[in-house]
Structure 1
Amino acid sequence: MKNKNISRNKSNISITFYLAIALPIVSCIVILVSYNTTGLDMVLSTISSLVDYSGFKTDGGWHFKLLLILPLISVAHYIAFSILKKHERPFEIQLLQGFMVICYVVVLSIFFIGVGYTMAVFVIKAFSYMHFFGNPFDRLNEIFASHAYIKAYEDLSNYLWANIVNFYTVVIILCITQVILAKTLYARKIEPFFAEYINNRANKNTKNEGLTSSQQEYDSLVDRVKDAKKYLPVKYFKNNQTFIGKDIDTNKPVYIDDGEIFRKELPHFAIVGASGKGKGSFSQTFLSQMILKGYTAIVFDPNDDTHLMKNLSFHTNKVGRKFRLINFKDYLVSQIDILQKCSAYEFEELMGNMFPYLEYKDSDGNYYNQYSRDVIQKYYIKELNDAECMHDLHQKVFDKYGEDALKNPNGELPQFVSEFLSLSNRPLVKVRNSISIKESIEAGDVVYISCPRLNKRTELAVLCKAFMMRIVQILQNRDENSKHVFMFIDEFPSFANLLVKESIEQLRKKACTMLVNLTSFESLDGIRSDVDGGSVKTAIITNSIKLIYQQPNTRISKSISDMTGTKIVYKENKIIKRNSAMKEIEEAYETTKIPVEVNVFSPTLIENLPSNVALFLNYGLPKMVHTEVLKYPSDTKYPTLIEAEPYNANDSETDSADDNDIMGAL
């Protein structure tokens, strides 16, 4: 692609050089020859009429004419040599480019021929002062002598200055102006005007010469992405737009209008692809932009992504906000109250997600589970007010009612009580004076949760998922006009449950946009929770803008390909012509083109996408974009873990003897 760019630039330079330098000299010679040669009157009259149009027969008559056509040649040059050069070029775009080049060359040629005419007038005038007598050497010396040219210049100085010196001065000024316009006004106004049309044609570049094989698709992909260069995303950040990446076909930045996000017109974001292909890079760039704009970000990271953590921490500190790091793996440190002053309804919903057996079931187990539901309703919910953490709530219940009140008819404590106590005893959540997540959200802080392994139902996994569900509850109960929040969930299938599935459809209305990372949509089919994975998959696909990175699995790549939409290609069929006797095959072939509907991006392309190149779907026409990681200073320190005051049972009024009875009963 470098060679292509060099040849394009050389082509542009050669055209400009020919028009500005070579064309006046050539036209001057042609005028002189036709002026002094009988039989070339037609050539001279044609050139003369062109010069009449350009205004070079007078002292600067070209001024007004050039002003009239200046917008035309300026725009034509930008379209032909800037916009269309960067695109995949099917015949339709080549035709448009050719027309613009011809328009630019023909119009400017008329003016530069006028310069040649002026030069010819000067030469003819100079020759009128020359006397060709004597031998050939004397005549040759007369041509190179300066006196004739000086006299001609004295007679035509005003004419020469107006039509050559001033003209080229104006041309230089116009070239500088063109460069400035190309970087500013044209890039903002003209290019967006043409972009959709051009991209549409580029995306459908197989309508006439369709890509009909996997090899062609692969070769096309290699050709399109081989010139993608690394760049700094921060250079493309804007206050009212969110930078996604650079369009592979146009090399122009791709944005999402922030107004569409905050007006709740856009769905959530699904970032899908194989590990190490760019999902994390895009997530860092997207979230950092929102943090720099003052919006809250909530992150659930089960992978200990140090780069993501440091990047977001750096940008949070940059705007003077607080970075709240909660690490469930560092569970011996008192950090957070996961109840967060929840209401009775929220507590019951939260417990139902933490302890699946609380659900009503048509089985014998429902008899015993009813006692767990009863203690929640009769005791725990009544003591929710002012409970500082799970353990504090448990202590309040036992202090007030005693363990005998909680036992079932068999004299046993319900399963819920023992499991709730076991979870509440974890130092991580056994706290006093915990930070308020609701207040942190309202303050625009970043809440970063480093999660444990979630593939098994361990106590830490249960607590982490419960905390995520509590945050979802807080977001669902916000006012619709609250400041926007962005919630990022890495390894999304590990968190998926009924509450999350419902929140996908509800949170957008509550000024919250979700970003979910997952290896593939199919990974949702196998989730084991209180909701069918297929319904979560449908909810995500239906309610998301998608960035699809490489999917090496053939079955998965086919399903992604179906999401990209369709186009029409023409497949060539060669039919062998036979003679009338149908005995011998002739060498003549008849080719027919059959229209075939295919997906915009094929499975082959999706399987071979290079790192940091993704398909951008469900926001305008499908695009292929190049995303890059956002850099942060190498000396950025690991953020500090939040710490709360540890909960001490001795601070309560619980009688130690009663405590011993309780512990003995458990």
Structure 2
Amino acid sequence: MLGHQLLVRMEDLLMPWCGALTGFFSVGAITAFHAEKQIRSEIMTYLSVSGIVGIFTWMLLPEAPRLDGQLWLVLLLTGFALVWCWYRRGIQMLDKLKLWLTRPSQLAREGRTDVRYVASLLPQPREEYDPRQYHIHDGFFMGLSVTGAPIYWRDRLPHLAIAGTSGSGKGRKLQDLAAQTIAKGEAVVYLDPKDDEWGAHALFSACFHTGRPYHYLRLLPESPPQFNLLAGAKAWEIEELFIATFDLSDKGKASDFFKAKDRNAAAVAAKLAAERSLTISELYHEMAADAFWVEDSPGFLGKLREIAGVEAVNAKAGDLSLATLIEEGGGLYVVGSMTLQSVRRVQQMIFVRVQQIASARDRMAGELRTVCVIADEAKYHISRPVLQGLGASRDKGMRVVLAFQSFLDLRDCPDDMDPDMVVGAIIENTPCKLIYRIEDPVTARWLAEKSGIILIDDEARQLERNFALAETGDGGRTIRQAEHFLIDTNKITSLPSGWGVLYGQGLAELCYVSPYRVKKCNEAITATSAISSDINLPDNGSSTTPSSVTSGMVNKSQRLRNECIFDLDE
């Protein structure tokens, strides 16, 4: 009797909650059927149907409380909703928790990078250090590795390409390389068209501490005469300077007819300058004094007049000599321009002239002093002779360091040069490459391929969609081998400032270069005046020249003109 009363009271208490249990069984039946688990589906269906049939049977009894039946129905719907929410969101949250708690297999390798999270895979900015503490006499310090170990180029440093967007760290490496080169007793010609804030001071400091001569050449207007660019040059060398910087090469167009006339004028001008040791300004006045050249080669005379107006390279005498600098070592810092056409032409001429002097040295006389030309913003210094001489100049004691932002930067070349040829020549002739952050995707893609291919693991997951239309994992994953780049485009386009990728010595590796800190001083940016040629160009572009200058020159020009024309006709 007591047991029966207890059972009745328990029935009244538990009966409504069986509705929730029936809802659970209903969802379980649907899920098991969806997963094609027949036995489980049949059991769940039986339990859920039994619960539903049982409650309706119970509600038909006269003494059955209506409130319990209504409460049963509410709990049935509540249980169904709760389970539906669990399958909709709860299982996905459980999958995330499982993934977080799972210990990955030690057999799995590194996978692909995600640009959204690539920063976590890159080295963090390091504290600044003094690069000079890592300089050695039998190698070049390139930077610190990810582990903090110094990276050296032990062999003879070849031509070097340094690429990266503005502010990524190119300048600090150029300054460090210049200082190391000076410390090894080499000659450095630093061509800077943008007038870097620290470049001249870094080179001056290196020369000062090693006792090497230092020269500062400023090509911009209002700079004093400092040296004669044509001093000591042979006629064919001067002619090459004109052809290289005046864009006198044939292009296969109708304009080639006029270029032939300009090249004829360049040949005559080169002979005059070589025989009489003229400056460019004096040469212009002599050529302009001959009416034949004014009428026959106005294009050549116009360009000659442009560079004749750059007073810095029109000194009759001075302490600066490119030949002496290359012979004895030291540093020359040249400040040019990225906008003034006349200055840009002179920048190119200086590069070619250094190449001529370095190549003309006697290699049988002993070991040649290395001449290092550092060309920041390389596109403003590139000419056909420079690119053609890259392959052979290294054997003649010359090293070229070219700094640029991307391949797009290099393609902005003179009209007489093929952009693809320019990019190809620089890529092929710079075995050492130091690459900072790159913005151009095409350049970044090529550099990623250059780093080499490695095997990685590509992961595949099997997802299922449940009755709540939520995708869930099956708890497993599939790994397959795939090819990827050692340093991919995501890393190259996201490198922190100061971090670069070094190519050319084994595997490509990350390295960090700290700024080359020096004190600023006026001596580093003071241009030394020299004796001027005392010839002023007329403002109106006329060929008026002082009689003291033109006396005896016209006959000389006419004789050479006749010789050159005769040779041309032959």
The verdict on a shared fold, with TM-score over 0.5 as the criterion, is: yes
The separation in 2 between residues aligned to 1:397 and 1:605, in whole angstroms, is 56
Check whether the contact 2:502–2:510 (CA below 8 A) recurs between aligned residues. Answer: yes
Could you list the per-position Cα deviations for residues 389-411 of structure 1 after superposition, in whole angstroms to 9, with x for gaps in the alignment?
Answer: 1233456668xxx725x458xx6
Contact 2:462 2:473 in 1 (8 A): no
Aligned CA distance change for structure 1 residues 462 and 207 (closer, same or farther; 3 Å):
farther
Residue 416 (structure 2) pairs with residue 530 (structure 1): yes
User: Residue 550 of structure 1 aligns to which amino acid in structure 2?
Assistant: R
**Structure 2: distance between partners of 1:307 and 1:478:** 32
**Separation of aligned partners in 1, 2:269 and 2:163:** 45
Corresponding position of 2:121:
221
Aligned counterpart in structure 2 of residue 495 of structure 1, from 359, 364, 381: 381
> 425, 429, 434: which is aligned to 2:313?
429
* Counterpart residue number, 1:350: 241
Go from structure 1 to structure 2 and tell me whether the alpha carbon gap of 1:632 and 1:426 turns closer, same or farther (over 3 Å shift): closer
> Which of 311, 317, 326 in structure 2 is aligned with 1:441?
326
Residue of structure 2 in register with 1:552 after alignment: 439
User: For 1:208, which of 105, 108, 116 is the aligned residue?
Assistant: 108
Q: Distance in 1 between matches of 2:359 and 2:176?
A: 26
Q: Distance in 1 between matches of 2:150 and 2:324?
A: 36
Aligned residues: 432
Q: Report how far residue 378 of structure 1 moved.
A: 4.8
CA distance in 2, matches of 1:487, 1:382: 29
From 612, 623, 626, give the equivalent of 2:512.
626
Deviation sequence 1:258-298 (CA, Å, 0-9, x none): xx21xxxx531111111111111111112111112221111
**Is 1:384 aligned to residue 274 of structure 2?**
yes
Q: What is the deviation of 1:360?
A: 4.4
1:45-64 aligned within 5 A: none
Q: Which residue of the partner structure matches residue 464 of structure 1?
A: 347
SS of 2:456's equivalent? strand
Give the one of 502, 513, 534 matched to 1:648. Answer: 534
SS of match in other structure, 1:385: helix
Counterpart selection for 2:148 from 248, 251, 271: 251
Per the alignment, in what secondary structure is the counterpart of residue 210 of structure 1? coil
- With the length of structure 1 as denominator, give the TM-score of the two structures: 0.59
Q: Distance in 2 between matches of 1:657 and 1:546?
A: 54
Q: Is the 8 A contact 1:334 1:428 kept in 2?
A: yes
Using the TM superposition, give the Cα deviation of residue 366 of structure 1 relative to its aligned residue in structure 2, in angstroms.
Answer: 4.6
1:103-182 equivalence runs, <5 A: none
Cα–Cα, structure 1 residues 283 and 379, in superposed 2: closer, same or farther, change >3 Å? closer
CA contact (8 A) 2:189 2:332 kept: yes
Taking CA–CA contacts closer than 8 Å with sequence separation of 6 or more, which of the two structures ends up with the larger relative contact order?
A: 2
Matched, 1:574 2:478: no
Write the distance in 1 (CA, Å) between the matches of 2:176 and 2:472: 62
% identity of equivalent residues: 22
5 Å-filtered alignment, 1:602-641, equals 602-633=488-519, 637-641=523-527
- Note the aligned Cα RMSD (angstroms): 3.3
* CA-to-aligned-CA distance 1:14-57 (integer Å, 9 cap, x gap): xxxxxxxxxxxxxxxxxxxxxxxxxxxxxxxxxxxxxxxxxxxx
Which position in structure 1 is the counterpart of 2:359?
Answer: 476
User: Which one of the candidate residues 116, 129, 135 is aligned to 1:231?
Assistant: 129
1:329 aligned partner, one-letter code: L
Alignment correspondent of 1:289: 180
Indicate how the Cα distance of structure 1 residues 346 and 593 shifts in structure 2: closer, same or farther if over 3 A, else same: same
1:642 shift after superposition: 2.5
- Relative to structure 1, is the Cα distance of residues 652 and 472 closer, same or farther in structure 2, using a 3 angstrom cutoff? farther
Give, in angstroms, the shift of residue 336 of structure 1: 2.1
Q: Cα 1:608–1:272, aligned 2, differ >3 Å: closer, same or farther?
A: same
Deviations 1:545-604 (A, max 9, x none): 1111112344432232111111111122234699xxxxxx99854433200110001211
Please state how far the C-alpha of 1:253 moved relative to its aligned partner: 0.6
Query: Any gaps of 5 or more consecutive residues in structure 1?
Result: 1-204, 579-584
Using the TM superposition, give the Cα deviation of residue 321 of structure 1 relative to its aligned residue in structure 2, in angstroms.
1.2
Q: Is the 8 A contact 2:221 2:311 kept in 1?
A: no
SS at match of 1:614: strand
Question: 1:255–1:637: structure 2 CA closer, same or farther, 3 Å change rule?
Answer: same
Secondary structure at the aligned position of 1:225 is classed as: coil
Aligned to 1:146: none
- Offset at residue 479 of structure 1 (A): 3.8
When structure 1 is superposed on structure 2, of 591-600 and 522-531 the one drifting more is 522-531
Q: 1:371 to 1:414 in 2, by over 3 A?
A: farther
Q: Distance in 1 between matches of 2:302 and 2:272?
A: 19
CA contact (8 A) 1:217 1:602 kept: no
CA contact (8 A) 1:524 1:534 kept: no
Tell me, yes or no, if the aligned pair for 1:577 and 1:589 is still in contact at 8 Å: no
SS at match of 1:478: coil
2 CA distance for matches of 1:437 and 1:362?
36
Please give the secondary structure, in 2, of the residue aligned with 1:570. strand
Query: 1:150-169 deviations in whole A, cap 9, x for unaligned?
Result: xxxxxxxxxxxxxxxxxxxx
- Distance in 2 between residues matched to 1:310 and 1:533, nearest whole Å: 34
Structure 1 residues 68-114: Cα deviation after superposition (integer angstroms, max 9, x where no partner): xxxxxxxxxxxxxxxxxxxxxxxxxxxxxxxxxxxxxxxxxxxxxxx
Give the Cα separation in 1 of the matches to 2:284 and 2:314: 11
- Equivalence for 2:336: 451
The alpha carbon displacement at 1:234 in A equals 1.5
Which segments of 5 or more consecutive residues in structure 2 lack a partner in the other structure?
Answer: 1-104, 466-470, 536-544, 558-570
Report the Cα offset of residue 503 of structure 1: 2.2
Partner of 1:241: 139
Check whether the contact 1:217–1:605 (CA below 8 A) recurs between aligned residues. no
Larger Rg: 2
Cα deviation code 1:129-169 (max 9, x no counterpart): xxxxxxxxxxxxxxxxxxxxxxxxxxxxxxxxxxxxxxxxx
1:212 counterpart letter in structure 2 = R
Going from structure 1 to structure 2, the CA distance change for 1:646 and 1:597 (only over 3 Å counts) comes to same
Which residues of 2 match residues 226-375 of structure 1 at below 5 A?
A: 228-248=126-146, 250-257=147-154, 260-261=155-156, 266-356=157-247, 358-360=248-250, 365-375=255-265
